[in-house]
Structure 1
Amino acid sequence: MKNKAKKKTFLWVDVLLYASAFFISVTGMLFILKSRGFYPFKDNTLFIMDMQSQFMEFLASLRYTINGDNSIFYSWSRSLGGNYLGLYAYYLASPLSWITIFFPVDKFYAAILVLTLVKIGCCGLTFSLFASYLWNRCHPVPDTDHCWQKLILLPMAVSYALISYNMAYSFCLMWIDGVILLPLILLGLEKLLNGQKGLLYTLALTTSFICNYFTGYIVGIFTAIYLLFRLCTLVTRQTLSFYLGRVLRFAATTLLAIGLASPLLFAVLKDLASGRLTAVTYRADTITNFPFVQLLAQFTNGSYINPLYEAFPNIYCGYTALVLALLFFTLRRVSLREKLAAAGVILLLLLSFYLTRLNYFWQAFMEFTGFSHRYAFVFSFFVLYLASRTLSALPFNSFIAKWSNKPVLQLIALLLMGVVSVDMGLNGRAIILGLENDYDYDTLTFYQDNLAVIKPLTDDILSNDNGFYRVNQDFEYANNDAMLLGFNGMAHYSSTFNQTVNSLTSRLGFAQAHYWNSGHGSTPLTDSLLGVKYHLFNTPTPSFYTKIKATEYGTSSCLNENALSIVYSAPLPDRKINLDNDNPFLNQNILLNSIAGTDLEYFTFPDFEFTGNESAWSYSFTAGSDWPVYLYMQSPDFSSTKVLVNGTEAGSYFTHETNCILYLGSFTPGEKVLIDILPATSVRVEYAQIAVLNTVLLENTLLNLRTNEMRITDHKGAKLKGTIYVPEGQKIVTSIPYDIGWTVKIDGKKVPFQKYAETFIAIETEAGEHDISFTYLSPGFSTGMIVFLITLILSVLYFQPDIFRILLVKGRKNDSDIM
């Protein structure tokens, strides 16, 4: 009975520690947010930087994979269509991400808040689990009367949840999973070193690789460093063979973890190979990243660094943790070997921040735009580990015996919790304030107002037309509106971008910068070729389109009656199409002529005059028809610039969103047109072109192409099925980005497909009427599943070697019963 009571007491202490670590961490984060006026207290949302332009939209897109045109493998909402599993593995694979599907899009600020709080709380929870193990390791014979001493570890768990890293990267929640899982992985490693097979280690490391391959890589490196650290403190001549066996088990279980995560690891690496990895560079222009002495400033409360242009790591984890970590090196109960090994780990991590080559190693030898110390959380963890190790090793029992009649220890614990809460709260507030000053958090009102501008239009389109088509837009709330609102769009911004699509759209005159591409700068020609049936405008609309709905905010949705299906028959005499001209209008002429087998000038180029200089200039010409007129300028400079047409503002130019073709309007034949360019700062124009679109020629060519479109009968779950007629001498042409993940079947038989214009899918087949289908499976997934299944079998053999013997015996017994 006494043993049961003891176990119950120990259990309640552990439960109290774990629950308190979670809920106090969440409460601390709420207080930080309240101090800066965030929802639910005031109007600020957590939408800022990558959270606003990427992560939030991607989380919203999860709901559209369940039902509709998209699936977990493919999304038509990104860059004309693209691999979704790769994006999912890079940004969304944390199981916690699915919390957000329970929130409507217009309340998504609440979804992000809940997800943030849950992840912060989980950081505190997992560290408390690890710290509890440390305590038990230092107190192998627990004393019921003194077991409540373990709660002294609670401030360290809360510090871990509120470290500077978590505050600074609160807009990149995908990286916080690494912070959550690191303590569990090392707890599993500790148990493996203690003689267990390593099930917890394998499962936690697998989850880390699944949640985010990059933080999984970081955690994997640090786990190896931590193993060496522990071996330095544990290995003796007598135990050498035992720990050699532990190291072999570590290697085996690590390989099992990688194998079990293979379906997503293979998928994300394949997807990155189509974009991000094509731009990988490794530079070591300098030996060091900064003067080493300046790193000391990062150990002070409130040390904010702009994360996009950071030079220093976010490593602050509290003054209390720093003091206790330093005290670790003075404890008599800690061996000299352990102190030296700990000092070695600290030195290695500091040198990693300081030395360029070591820093690149932690970044998998990739150069990132900002966020250059994404592994900084492992340093904070190790400092808090040393602090927890100190608390676990302090002689509390003798202290309690001296003050047996007074609650001194409880008061010290409360004081420590109070100090840590104030310290980490002020630090978190300072970092959130720094982000707010540099980038501005979207307000709840701003978010809802932007949805009111676009969502009624897309909802109207989707509710009235259940066909398969694309929607373009010349205005946006963020870079991934299509993924936020669930329509098949043109724009996309992520690290899993498609380089060939970005390159093509740029050459056709669309706005494109960094990893982002868009539908800004489209013309009726590109809209029609790319299957854009609907276009959202907040500017004057060319007569080529038919307005179908308008909002009170000046935005409207328009129908493009000439839009092609994304699959149709066309001559396409040559799949190699040269679109390397500086003139995007000429490139559009070439593309359509190459597909349609024509030789027509859809865009023509009137003579125009230039006056002015780099500070302000004008173009002028005389209109020869009432067809739509467009302007394109090319410059290496960035400057917010107004474009006026006959004194009326027509748009802006020379920003990332406006470096593209601009619609100027339609004019009366013989009318004099003056275009004034008014930049905020001087701009050097390297190339400029005015073009007129002959809509009569365009409509005639499109009409011919539309006669042999694919009649789509099914377009759910990233699959296309239907029928198509292919005339003699023509090919099946698509505006589907080329991807080896597609399987194309004609009349039930798998057929090869080729790439045209270095971007899209084309298929050669016999003339006649055909059934045709397109099915997508993310590249790398099948191979990853094979590796996963093999690894799963090996895992069962490793962790449960008797299971096959039991099944074999059972099978023989059944056979004998039958006999």
Structure 2
Amino acid sequence: MKSKKELSNKVISFVLPLVVLMVMFSIVKVFPFGNNSITINDANNQYIAILTYFRENILHPQNLLFSYKLNLGGQFFSVLTYYLLSPINLISLLFPINKIPLFFELNTVFNACLTSLLTYVFLSKSKYTRQSNNGINVVFSLCFSLSSYFFLYNHCEMWFNVIAFFPLLMLFLEELLDGKSGWKFGILYTVMLLMNYYITFMITVFIAISYFIWILSVKDKKYIFNRTKVLAITGITSFLLGSISIIPSYLCQKMVKDQATLQINLHRIYHIKDLFNNLFFNIDSAKGQIIGNSGIAFNHYPHVYMSFVITFILVSFFFSKLINKKEKILTGILLGILFLFTWNQTLYFIWHGFTAPHGYPQRGTFIVDFVLVIISSNYAKHFNVKKENIKIPILVTLLLIVLNFVSVHNISNLIINMLLLIVAAALLSVKNGKYTGWLLPIVMLDIIFSNVAVFNKLSNQSTNLAAFTKSYNTMKPVTDEINKSDKSFYRIGTADEMNPNDPLLYDFNGLSNYVSQQPTQLINFMSTVGYFQRTNPVYRWSSYNNGSTLAMDSLMGTKYYIGNNRTYAKNVIASDNELRSISSLQNGISIVGESKDINDFKVYKNKCSLPLAFPVDKSAVEKIDFPGLPNNNPFKYQNKVFEKLFGVKDLYSYLNLSNEKVSQVSNAYMYKTSRSGIVYMYLPEKMMAKLPELTLYVNDRKLGNINSNYYTLNNGEGKNSKNGIVALGKFRKDEVINIKLVHRGHDVKILAPIVAVEDEKLVDKLSTDVQKSNVKINKVRGNAINIETTKDFDSNYLMLTIPYDKGWDVTVNGKKQSPKVLISTFMGIKLNKGINKITLHYEVPGVKTSGMLFILGTLIVCISIIRKKKR
């Protein structure tokens, strides 16, 4: 009978999050109750495309080591280890790509259900929370699985794939410290390290904290030594086995230079009062969740609200006469340490992998939530034995509610929190927990109403399922037809970008991407030469953004350019609220290239496009500083690039500003061309500045919008449709160019545009010379490239337009050679003139070392098993 009841509780704990989420989905119109989804923010602009690339290349493992779909090319292995190693991602193979957001919904719901089930398993088996009535633990399991942290961060599936197993790991840790074998802890810890080393690192910090608290509670020093030895050996072995992903990922992350580094200081992350405010119901979904026009802005304190029941029990615990003094002291020490790790900047950085998180603060809050749930379950156990006097906890909680009201000034919050206090106190004050069963519906309602506002706002800004399907079905045939008709290596640029990871989603070699592992040097290069403006110092992405100049696009191997399609653009706007570029502005390739219509898109072919590898001058080894600042002159840096690579001088000539007129609604500028060619404009900005929406006119002809606002859509142009460089058209020498930028603000400060004319004939000649340079590219496949030069090859350096990476092994005529860094960004090879056979093979940096450590860990496991059998 007892086993049936226990099985029933497990089933209920698994199903309850599904029930609650279905109710919330119906309220906020998430599928199957509408076309909204749960793919928002980074799920929109990263995870969908990354997962799509993974499932399309699962049978081509070489493409999971190095990918040409990551900007100009980059290591994919660290992306794989951070985002994709959970086995549940294999289920995505059952979903067509145009329905892939539905997989994320399935993944998220499953994570919540599994988290609830495994939390219940912990609470029902742990010696700290075991009780005769495990029905109450069903309530606490639901609280943990559907916390405010979950509703804010649930779209980060790769975290929750690991968080779900966290309670089970802590149960196995408890068994290990209680004298049992550590093999269950070791296996699960290893699996979690492999699934997502980042979240598991935070859990590792908590394990160290828990171990410290355990030492304080045990008196037998010999026993402590014995268990410490077992824990240390198990942990080290697990790390050795998990190093296969940890070490290469760490080495890759070192290339991201814009991350804040660890500093020893006493700076705080947030005000302490904000933490207490977040312990109560808030009708606007917690004070830290600020809902604005552009989405959710996160304050930097932990979002710990799970339900009012948890808050009230937490207060009651420390005033209870049923809890012994030592237990209160140890619990207080644990909470104090966790508080410091969320509050002090140094400890906060340590907890987040020795760096500051970008965009998603307090990522370890789930650990705090788990501890609060354990405290609640532990105290509820005493309620089942003896009636507790809770007058003081009621008064203290009431005082905190009043302080909360003084801070947030919301009368609705005050009334609801008072009612919740009355209900919680009444249900918990009855002897033997007679009415605690009523806690479940109360908690369910609390979870729904305390999170529905933020969930509704996020779902309204999520990927629209119907629009995503339509957008994908419109664009994919275009890139497929280009790839089918041209088997050489080339890159594609697009006017319409759903997000920077379109190359991963649509399977084409592009010039943009957005992943946390993208090297800062590459971002700086892309921004400096005009592909986009890095107006924020912590940008992790780079965008093609309607292109740079004809010459720079050609240098980067952009052979095809897909022009704007109004219908597609409107679909994209409806399907993705993290747009980087939807542009009606001209591109240098579209001014000179031939075009044909594919699926209502105009596809332009660039006759000046350069191949992946070509000879360059020896001056290419000289360094160029690419600062990536938005107020730099990109034409100046492009002149430097072409001079160092080819000895070409003054590819771009600047036009002098002859007249400027500023009014309340527009800025007008007059220039005169110094020679014939394509004229480009770059609008400089100051770092962290935000340009208003601007309509661009050239000689009284409207060219399009710059920095279009999502809420003032104009013929399918979406937000973020600004351009680093804008092509104004072809002009003859001495022709007058009037540029007018119309805006709506009265206090708009716009820096004068930098305008330059490109020597198109020089670009054409440069392209012709390179095409005749006697370099043949035989193979470009994943992590392998084969190149030959003929007997007429007359240069000492070969450059490949892929970023320099230490992982490339280069062999020239059978001899190994170290690759060179050219113009501070690209990979170069020093050659002798004449015939050369060059092979390049990419090996993920650190993979050999981690492989050896993995073998060592495996040997330790084998030796351990053999010793146990002998015993």
TM-score past 0.5 threshold = yes
CA deviation after TM superposition for structure 1 residue 164, in Å: 0.9
- Residues of 2 paired with 1:459 and 1:43: CA distance? 27
Q: Does the Cα contact within 8 Å between 2:126 and 2:174 map onto a contact in 1?
A: no
Does 1:447 pair with 2:475? no
Q: CA deviation at 1:187?
A: 0.9
Alpha-carbon offset, residue 414 of structure 1: 4.5
Please give the alpha-carbon distance, in whole angstroms, between the structure 1 residues aligned to 2:697 and 2:62. 41
Is 1:206 aligned with 2:270?
A: no
Counterpart in 1 of 2:622? 576
Q: Which residue among 520, 543, 550 is the counterpart of 1:524?
A: 550
Counterparts in 2 of 1:175 and 1:583: CA distance versus 1, 3 Å = same
What amino acid does structure 2 have at the position aligned with 1:755? V
Task: Flag the 1:710–1:30 CA change in 2: closer, same or farther, 3 A.
Answer: farther
The TM-score, its normalising length taken from structure 1, stands at 0.87
CA–CA distance in structure 2, aligned partners of residues 42 and 264 of structure 1? 39
Counterpart Cα distance in 1 of 2:203 and 2:82: 16
Mapping of 1:229-240 within 5 angstroms? 229-233=213-217, 235-236=218-219, 239-240=220-221
1:691-730 matched pairs, under 5 angstroms: 691-708=756-773, 710-725=775-790, 727-730=793-796
The residue that corresponds to 1:3 in the other structure is none
Offset at residue 728 of structure 1 (A): 3.4
Rounded to whole Å, the distance in 2 between the matches of 1:653 and 1:709 is 42
CA contact (8 A) 1:568 1:724 kept: no
* CA displacement at 1:774 relative to structure 2: 1.9
Tell me, what secondary structure is at the counterpart of 1:279? coil
For 1:288, what is the secondary structure of its paired residue? coil
- Give, in whole Å, the separation in 2 of the partners of 1:390 and 1:198: 28
Instruction: Note if contact 2:494-2:544 (Cα within 8 Å) is conserved in structure 1.
Output: yes
Q: Which residue of 1 aligns with 2:50?
A: 58
Alpha-carbon offset, residue 420 of structure 1: 2.0
The C-alpha deviation readout for 1:211-268, integer Å capped at 9, x for no partner, is: 33332221111112222333434x13xx331232112222222222222111111111
2:728 corresponds to 1:664: yes
**Helix, strand or coil at the partner of 1:457:** helix
Q: Residues of 2 paired with 1:221 and 1:285: CA distance?
A: 19
2:514–2:540 Cα contact (<8 Å) kept: yes
* Aligned residue in 2 for 1:675: 739
Residue 515 of structure 1: aligned partner: 540
1:292 to 253, 272, 292: 272
How much identity, in percent, do the aligned residues show?
Answer: 21
Report the Cα offset of residue 19 of structure 1. 3.0
Counterpart check, 1:797 vs 2:863: yes
Deviations 1:605-640 (A, max 9, x none): 344423123853222234576632111121213122
Q: 1:646 aligns with which of 699, 702, 709?
A: 699
The equivalent position to 1:496 in structure 2, one of 501, 513, 517, is 517
1:747 and 2:796 are equivalent in the alignment? no
Whichever residue aligns with residue 786 of structure 1, its letter is M
Correspondence for 1:424: 447
1:610–1:200 Cα change, 3 Å: farther
- Amino acid aligned to 1:587: Y
CA contact (8 A) 1:29 1:120 kept: no
Distance 1:709 1:662, change over 3 A: farther
C-alpha distance after superposition, 1:66-124 (max 9, x if no partner):
25696221111112011111122233333323332332221122111111112112211
For 2:559 and 2:61, locate their aligned partners in 1 and report how far apart those are by CA, in whole Å.
16
Q: SS of the residue aligned with 1:771?
A: strand
Residue 639 of structure 2, aligned match among 581, 589, 593: 589
CA drift of 1:490 comes to 0.8
The Cα shift of 1:802 comes to 4.4
Q: In the aligned structure 2, how far is the partner of 1:712 from the partner of 1:413?
A: 73
Using the alignment, how far apart are the partners of 1:258 and 1:284 within structure 2? 26
TM-score norm. by structure 2 comes to 0.82
Report if the CA contact (8 A) 2:386-2:432 is conserved: no
Q: Take 1:114 and 1:343, find their aligned partners in 2: how far apart are those partners?
A: 38
C-alpha displacement at 1:546, in angstroms? Answer: 1.9
Q: Secondary structure at the match of 1:634?
A: coil
Going from structure 1 to structure 2, the CA distance change for 1:723 and 1:380 (only over 3 Å counts) comes to: same
Q: Which residue of structure 2 lines up, in the alignment, with residue 404 of structure 1?
A: none
1:620 and 2:670 are equivalent in the alignment: yes
Aligned to 1:192: 176
Alpha-carbon RMSD across the aligned residues, in angstroms, is 3.0
CA contact (8 A) 1:469 1:531 kept: yes
Amino acid at match of 1:292: I
Instruction: Name which of 67, 73, 76 aligns with 1:75.
Output: 67
Q: Provide the rounded CA distance (Å) in 1 between the counterparts of 2:774 and 2:682.
A: 32
Is this contact kept in 2: 1:134–1:389, CA < 8 A?
no
**2:342 aligned to which of 353, 358, 363:** 353
List aligned pairs for 1:276-315, cutoff 5 A.
277-282=257-262, 287-301=267-281, 302-306=285-289, 308-315=297-304
For 2:570, the equivalent position in structure 1 comes to none
Tell me if 1:475 matches 2:456.
no
SS in structure 2 at match of 1:248: helix
Cα distance, 1:436 vs structure 2: 5.4
Rate the CA distance shift 1:11–1:532 in 2: closer, same or farther, 3 A: farther
In the alignment, which residue of structure 2 is the partner of 1:765?
831
**Counterpart residue type for residue 690 of structure 2:** F
CA–CA distance in structure 1, aligned partners of residues 695 and 264 of structure 2: 41
- Paired amino acid for 1:560: N
1:102-159 deviation per Cα after TM superposition (whole angstroms, max 9, x unaligned): 32221122111111112112211221221121269846xxxxxx7xx43432111111
Q: Distance in 2 between matches of 1:220 and 1:457?
A: 47
Q: Is the 8 A contact 2:524 2:626 kept in 1?
A: no
Shift of 1:368: 3.4
- SS of the residue 2:778 aligns to: strand
State the secondary structure of the residue aligned to 1:563: coil
**2:377 counterpart (383, 388, 391):** 388
Q: Report the equivalent of 1:484.
A: 505
Letter of the structure 2 residue corresponding to residue 617 of structure 1:
N
Query: Any residues of structure 2 matched to 1:149-164 within 5 Å, and which?
Result: 149-164=133-148
Structure 1 residues 485 and 11: alpha-carbon distance in aligned structure 2, compared to 1, 3 A threshold: farther
Q: CA deviation at 1:741?
A: 0.8
Provide the rounded CA distance (Å) in 1 between the counterparts of 2:360 and 2:143.
Answer: 22
Q: Given that residues 634 and 659 in structure 1 are in contact (C-alpha distance below 8 angstroms), is that contact kept between their aligned partners in structure 2?
A: no
Distance (whole Å) between structure 2 residues aligned to residue 635 and residue 614 of structure 1: 19
1:610–1:617 contact (8 Å) kept in structure 2? no
The answer on whether the counterparts of 2:387 and 2:432 sit within 8 Å (CA) in structure 1 is: no
Separation of aligned partners in 2, 1:580 and 1:794: 48
The reply on whether 1:566 has 2:612 as its aligned counterpart is yes
Residue 374 (structure 1) shift: 1.3
Q: CA deviation at 1:315?
A: 0.5
- 8 Å Cα contact 2:642-2:648 kept in structure 1: no
C-alpha distance in structure 2 between counterparts of 1:310 and 1:394, whole Å: 36
Kept in 1, the 8 Å contact 2:783–2:843? The answer is: no
Please give the alpha-carbon distance, in whole angstroms, between the structure 1 residues aligned to 2:208 and 2:248. 25
> Which of residues 29, 33, 40 in structure 2 aligns to 1:37?
29
Give the distance between the partners of 2:128 and 2:668, measured in 1 at CA: 78
Aligned to 1:629: 679
Q: Secondary structure at the match of 2:240?
A: helix
Matched letter for residue 606 of structure 2: N
What is the distance in 2 between the residues matched to 1:182 and 1:567?
A: 48
1:580 Cα deviation (Å)?
A: 5.7
Distance 2:667 2:320 in 1: 74
SS at match of 2:703: strand
Aligned in 2, Cα 1:138/1:381: closer, same or farther, shift over 3 Å? closer
**Matched residues in 2 for 1:687 and 1:503: separation?**
23
1:728–1:152 CA distance, 2 compared to 1 (3 A): same
Distance 1:153 1:710, change over 3 A: farther
Gaps of 5+ in 1: 1-8, 140-145, 400-407, 807-819
Counterpart of 1:442, as a letter, is T
